Structure 1
């Protein structure tokens, strides 16, 4: 028995009051700056900002010989957002050690949150926006209102100020001048959407994590913004083209001005954007994923020529989000240069394969995390996202994903495992990415509804609860897994609920119930359960176990990369401006806008590459020591011969865990789950509901959770649809 005042070494150390105060101060400062940025966006279209504040700021900035007029936008738009990003990195680093403590506290207070969460309840289900919660709808409405407010204020103030001289300078009448101004201000409004477009797809973003979001769950925000941006920019371009046609100035379409706006660059950017946009609609994206994937790389041309179109000074307004995206994208590129160590594979009779990678024990990830995978043997360019099915605490040396044969890429992968053995499979990986923690323990019951391969994210959740109940003896909520399959052989997916090395797993404390439905067969047996092949891969010296890209203190390193690369950019561009641009320009807009923009782009890319590469290589060297300790994995992997097919009754490891799993599984053939009966039949005061599967199933579950009589159902928003 521990003496009085001693602390169990297995428990996390309580946070000191100073640390709590520091986190609170960082959070408060970050939110205050974000509110200030939002207020700036609101004030931008007003005459107060445009005619009083902005000229004053530009006059003061115009005296700078290091940044010129570009300095004002760097100060007002770029610096604050990057500063908040660095603050959020510090906040997340200080909070990372509290994950285990928070989970324990949530377990002790499980069910304490009895009240409904109206802001997280679905309010739109079957519309074009998909499943939208009240919070998401509120922010979407506020953003649309901001766009309408900005456009209306721009047009109202500019139309009232039109003079005959201005119309004559543009070469049109007053009404034709209004068309020109409408095109101009549509471009300014489109830039608002572009400024936020890249935040949701920055996978390792500290800003998303700071606000409790993930890039995977934020993909729909990127889709919404993308559609709005391209629609506005398309109308923006059409307004100018129509104006030039009716005023007989069509030659302006081929104009590339030395200073100011470049029309040709804008047209190239618009064409690239339209090519990208045309492949993003659901029907094209689902049926021709490769086309969607390759066309999406047109964003490089779009962004390059957009900057050349408007100039780097104005581009600084939208640049923070793209800057953070470039940092993240380059770190992902560095990570993907190494070949991941693939240890083994579990081949199921339902044309599904579980790939097991070696990982460093220090690599931690939450349930429902995902990572991107590339197999050069199939395609040297294609990356595909997969949900991680393992739990980082239960399986400290391995990370698993499940690939189900559903397309040409996954079909080729499954064909590799039939029936001949594979000596080695080269795999490149990016990630994992996902929530650092989840609050499932707050619920008394957790209902997980899946269809087909949609069971994959719930495998990691159940494995996590297995670890908590068996190792930490944590009281877990009651788990209900409702899974629907087309054929009985798909029932073999249930074998994945247990990791391959499961002989030491204790399921006795896990309150799990599985309702499995086979919709297209009417039989009374499940002969495919427990039947799979195990394939072991040969080790290779060039393969490396998965490890954190920036080491255990990844948030601090990310903040260091962002701040140091931006500081390097400021120093280099300041020197270039002072000793190369200013002697020509003298802050009078005489230097080539395109050359200035290209110089800034090159300096930004070089700064990010130098700083990120240095930090990455430093952490990789530190991880190499830990990687040497993983080499013994070959001896710990299953020693079954490749290609062997073994029945569940022939393995010693099936005797206990698999029997307990079978005891809690109820098989239903020839019917679909009655989701209304299952969900509305839950009488607990707090029931978490997750769904992953076909669109119709997701919408049905969301609709049930939005009913007034289902106030105890808390719809947990997840997104695994691309």
Structure 2
């Protein structure tokens, strides 16, 4: 048996070797992405047109792929290669255990400070602003280069005036710029992709980038369509609007794509989205028709420019579909007097996720099509067989769900489907000496998962944890029952007092507690059926190697199929008849092959993992019916005479101070926080989040570091 020094030396050598491998992979991924980006930068130039493009076409054009092969190699392959290699990188990173504590230099911390707080973009950090400006610079560079080169080649002729020719060229180049934006559009909404974790993003935190890109795309494509309509009108070619050519650009599908995009775009603006969410949700499904008509409009060869983002999104969407077909085991629900709901699901005991994770929930009895995202309030370490979410009764969907649970349920059960959870790759909050968490209303939900994780760490692992100050604001005293959910329903908390927790609760619309606030929490227990399954890992975040295998195998299969199609079907037709095979038909066949290959590879991977996961969990479903007391400790906060029920609850009461009749003075509280390394998080109403971000970025306190966790921009 080796002595301790030799053992530690071996461990250190393994860690160094692992670190070197990870650094090498990061470098390779960065170089590949830089090369892919360089192609986009050079594409508008004469160097690319006259030197690079002819060389690339001559070297890659073959009877198996044709011109499409060149675009696949240059635009699609690099991103898919990054995705697959990124899966390997994230697998090794997870295996090495380097994901627990994020590392942040003072320089990087300065870049993460908010620089824009108010305005249409919401809270924007310095690094986000820098990359946004670089992306806009790329768009301006490409557009100006295209126009400069194209205008220089224009000459006056008898058929059209010079300004008319410039109008047509401008419309064409706007389409190319819109195509560049589309190449990035679907990366932020691919929830299980390896691309977002590689740069430290989650699907929820990157939604705002999808929103920004979506607005830019629709502005550019709308201008593209207007330019062509004006050009056709002034040159008496309005019949072009009903042309659907077999070869080259097809106008009718382009117009249909633009119409779908405009309808989709009109419902995304905040006022419509918030007041008529169902309209927003259903109209957003028009993205399928938008992409289909866009494919028919430009053809498969040109579509390959934006293929990688869409390809990864299709894999992710199909895996989500497979997961959502399973009815998960809903163990219980807690109904609060504040009309909030806590749903407690059964979870695979070996399946872990990080705090601030998100799940998407569908309740067929409420709406068979709608999926709503919610932050997980539980900790996978503290509650190894439970996953909990909290839902506040606000919109029509949540109101119907609350009514459904408040009424007697048929067979004492509720069918629920789940997608996720999707979690951040690291727990950045552990790097701070102290945490300040500011919430408004149901915005307290994300912080529950953090507090429960810290409870586990301080009691089970005996690990150092940051001190916690929770500042929560509620409208009425009945909403204070949300604080009861800080403790899990099982009540299995060994010693809450070991966590340095202080809670400052503010009731803004009342001067004192009301009788209604003494209401108890009602707990509903559901009966299981054999078909119910615990929530199991998603392929991707919890099985990176499997996701890499699905991406690579499906893409290789797609290349084989289109190679066979091109070599043995399309080429003979074009050579024997001297005609160009219909672009639309070729596009549809390629789309069919993509769908078949993704469905086959993803289904095989999903079923293989499903058989391995669920075979071990049959007994777990049968052991989840032991009820717990249904009473609520909410009266602790009102000095009631009722006896406290447990030591953890007593510790929670002692840590809580309730203030009535006013809002928290956030500036005063935050600026008085001691400590050199304080993490500040905010969740809740937009105005409150912006106020907290403004205080942290004001420069009045250098020890405050704003940690953006917002799930809505």
Q: Normalised by the size of structure 2, how large is the TM-score?
A: 0.95
Task: Give the superposition deviation at 1:17.
Answer: 3.5
Secondary structure, counterpart of 1:162 in structure 2: coil
Which of residues 261, 273, 285 in structure 2 aligns to 1:285?
A: 273
Q: Which residue of 2 aligns with 1:717?
A: 708
User: Does residue 484 of structure 2 align to residue 495 of structure 1?
Assistant: yes
User: Does residue 551 of structure 2 align to residue 565 of structure 1?
Assistant: no
Secondary structure, counterpart of 2:378 in structure 1: coil
Q: Which residue of 1 aligns with 2:328?
A: 340
Task: Give the superposition deviation at 1:115.
Answer: 7.0
Secondary structure, counterpart of 1:200 in structure 2: coil
User: Does residue 18 of structure 2 align to residue 19 of structure 1?
Assistant: yes
Q: Which residue of 2 aligns with 1:70?
A: 68
Measure the CA separation in 1 of the matches of 2:481 and 2:451: 16
Q: Which residue of 2 aligns with 1:376?
A: 364
Matches within 5 A, 1:541-560: 541-550=530-539, 554-560=543-549
Which of residues 639, 653, 666 in structure 1 aligns to 2:657?
A: 666
Relative distance call for 1:589 and 1:564 in structure 2 (3 A) is farther
Q: Which residue of 2 aligns with 1:239?
A: 227
Secondary structure, counterpart of 1:244 in structure 2: helix
Q: Which residue of 2 aligns with 1:94?
A: 92
Secondary structure, counterpart of 2:615 in structure 1: helix
Which of residues 242, 245, 252 in structure 1 aligns to 2:240?
A: 252
Cα deviation 1:571-616 (Å, max 9, x = unaligned): 0110000001111235987110001100100000100000000000
Relative distance call for 1:578 and 1:248 in structure 2 (3 A) is same
Which segments of 5 or more consecutive residues in structure 2 lack a partner in the other structure? Answer: none
Q: 541-550 vs 150-159, which deviates more? A: 541-550
Q: Which residue of 2 aligns with 1:30?
A: 29
Q: Which residue of 2 aligns with 1:121?
A: 113
Q: Which residue of 2 aligns with 1:219?
A: 207
Relative distance call for 1:525 and 1:666 in structure 2 (3 A) is farther
Relative distance call for 1:651 and 1:609 in structure 2 (3 A) is farther
Residues 644, 650 of structure 2: 8 Å contact kept? no
Which of residues 300, 306, 310 in structure 2 aligns to 1:322?
A: 310
Task: Give the superposition deviation at 1:415.
Answer: 1.2
Task: Give the superposition deviation at 1:3.
Answer: 8.0
Q: 502-511 vs 536-545, which deviates more? A: 502-511
Secondary structure, counterpart of 1:618 in structure 2: helix
Which of residues 583, 590, 602 in structure 2 aligns to 1:600?
A: 590
Q: Which residue of 1 aligns with 2:373?
A: 385
Q: Which residue of 2 aligns with 1:46?
A: 45
Residues 491, 526 of structure 1: 8 Å contact kept? no
Relative distance call for 1:396 and 1:589 in structure 2 (3 A) is farther
Q: Which residue of 2 aligns with 1:396?
A: 384
Q: Which residue of 2 aligns with 1:654?
A: 645
Relative distance call for 1:115 and 1:267 in structure 2 (3 A) is closer
Secondary structure, counterpart of 1:476 in structure 2: coil
Measure the CA separation in 2 of the matches of 1:541 and 1:628: 8
Residues 481, 634 of structure 2: 8 Å contact kept? no
Q: Which residue of 1 aligns with 2:183?
A: 195
Task: Give the superposition deviation at 1:441.
Answer: 1.7
Q: Which residue of 2 aligns with 1:209?
A: 197
User: Does residue 166 of structure 2 align to residue 178 of structure 1?
Assistant: yes
Measure the CA separation in 2 of the matches of 1:149 and 1:487: 54
Secondary structure, counterpart of 2:388 in structure 1: strand
Q: Which runs of 4+ in 1 moved over 6 A?
A: 112-116, 644-653
User: Does residue 606 of structure 2 align to residue 616 of structure 1?
Assistant: yes
Q: 414-423 vs 566-575, which deviates more? A: 414-423
Which of residues 146, 158, 167 in structure 1 aligns to 2:138?
A: 146
Secondary structure, counterpart of 1:344 in structure 2: strand
Q: Which residue of 1 aligns with 2:694?
A: 703
Cα deviation 1:497-534 (Å, max 9, x = unaligned): 00011144311210000000000000157973783111
Measure the CA separation in 1 of the matches of 2:136 and 2:541: 40
User: Does residue 119 of structure 2 align to residue 131 of structure 1?
Assistant: no
Task: Give the superposition deviation at 1:5.
Answer: 5.8
Relative distance call for 1:536 and 1:117 in structure 2 (3 A) is same
Residues 358, 633 of structure 1: 8 Å contact kept? no
Measure the CA separation in 1 of the matches of 2:454 and 2:580: 65
Residues 389, 459 of structure 1: 8 Å contact kept? yes
Which of residues 640, 647, 667 in structure 2 aligns to 1:676?
A: 667
Q: Which residue of 2 aligns with 1:264?
A: 252
User: Does residue 634 of structure 2 align to residue 634 of structure 1?
Assistant: no
Relative distance call for 1:610 and 1:405 in structure 2 (3 A) is same
Measure the CA separation in 2 of the matches of 1:526 and 1:471: 39
Secondary structure, counterpart of 2:66 in structure 1: coil
Task: Give the superposition deviation at 1:23.
Answer: 1.6
Task: Give the superposition deviation at 1:113.
Answer: 6.2
Q: Which residue of 1 aligns with 2:77?
A: 79
Cα deviation 1:267-288 (Å, max 9, x = unaligned): 0000000010000000000000
Measure the CA separation in 2 of the matches of 1:458 and 1:647: 19
Cα deviation 1:617-659 (Å, max 9, x = unaligned): 0000001222223124324x32558xx7788789998321111
Measure the CA separation in 1 of the matches of 2:192 and 2:279: 25
Q: 577-586 vs 663-672, which deviates more? A: 577-586
Relative distance call for 1:511 and 1:19 in structure 2 (3 A) is same
Residues 349, 385 of structure 2: 8 Å contact kept? yes
Residues 573, 579 of structure 2: 8 Å contact kept? no
Q: 46-55 vs 174-183, which deviates more? A: 46-55
Relative distance call for 1:497 and 1:3 in structure 2 (3 A) is farther
Measure the CA separation in 2 of the matches of 1:611 and 1:446: 44
Relative distance call for 1:445 and 1:646 in structure 2 (3 A) is closer
Residues 455, 493 of structure 2: 8 Å contact kept? no
Count the aligned residue pairs: 704
Task: Give the superposition deviation at 1:174.
Answer: 1.3
Q: Which residue of 2 aligns with 1:690?
A: 681
Residues 454, 465 of structure 2: 8 Å contact kept? yes
Task: Give the superposition deviation at 1:13.
Answer: 9.6
Relative distance call for 1:694 and 1:554 in structure 2 (3 A) is same
Measure the CA separation in 2 of the matches of 1:586 and 1:404: 65
Residues 116, 712 of structure 1: 8 Å contact kept? no
Task: Give the superposition deviation at 1:436.
Answer: 2.3
Residues 250, 298 of structure 2: 8 Å contact kept? yes
Task: Give the superposition deviation at 1:253.
Answer: 0.3
Residues 648, 654 of structure 1: 8 Å contact kept? no
Task: Give the superposition deviation at 1:27.
Answer: 1.0
Measure the CA separation in 2 of the matches of 1:412 and 1:646: 27
Residues 533, 621 of structure 2: 8 Å contact kept? no
Task: Give the superposition deviation at 1:25.
Answer: 1.4
Measure the CA separation in 1 of the matches of 2:609 and 2:279: 36
Secondary structure, counterpart of 1:654 in structure 2: coil
